Amino acid sequence: MPRTPALLPEGLRDRLPAQAEAASRVTRALVDAMRAHGYGRVSPPLAEFRETLGGDDDRSARDLLRFTDPVSQRTLALRPDITRQVGRIATSLLAHAPRPLRLCYA
């Protein structure tokens, strides 16, 4: 099927219904397997305050898509990876949970 290059950036694609359903089934199977082994699923937000995402070097700062929160006027960023956010959840919201923590995300 011909693609119009201007519709999506390189590396991104739409999933049509059959593809989306197949991807959802795979994700669900993986999460169910993790849950069966004692892992709890977490789901951090897509964007957070810039300073909570770490990576204060110039390269990391360039890799983030940043924008301003209209309410607080602080800088927000889209997460480039979810690992730091899971760490933030583990050390703040789940700070008093028994260790070791078993967390997963999908």
The candidate with the shortest Cα–Cα distance to 106, out of 51, 47, 59, 44, is 44
Indicate whether 6 belongs to any domain.
no
Indicate whether 24 belongs to any domain.
yes
- What CATH number should be reported for the domain holding residue 31? 3.30.930.10
Preceding peptide of 5 cis, ω within 30°: no
Task: Count CB-CB contacts under 10 A for residue 85.
Answer: 20
Indicate whether 92 belongs to any domain.
yes
For residue 48, the enclosing domain spans: 18-104
Per-residue pLDDT of the chain (106 residues; tens, 9 = 90+): 555 556 888 888 999 999 999 999 999 999 999 999 999 999 999 999 888 887 666 656 677 889 999 999 999 999 888 888 999 999 999 999 999 999 999 9
The candidate with the shortest Cα–Cα distance to 105, out of 57, 34, 37, 53, is 34
Count up the domains in the chain and report the number: 1
Indicate whether 7 belongs to any domain.
no
Fill in the amino acid letter for 23.
Answer: A
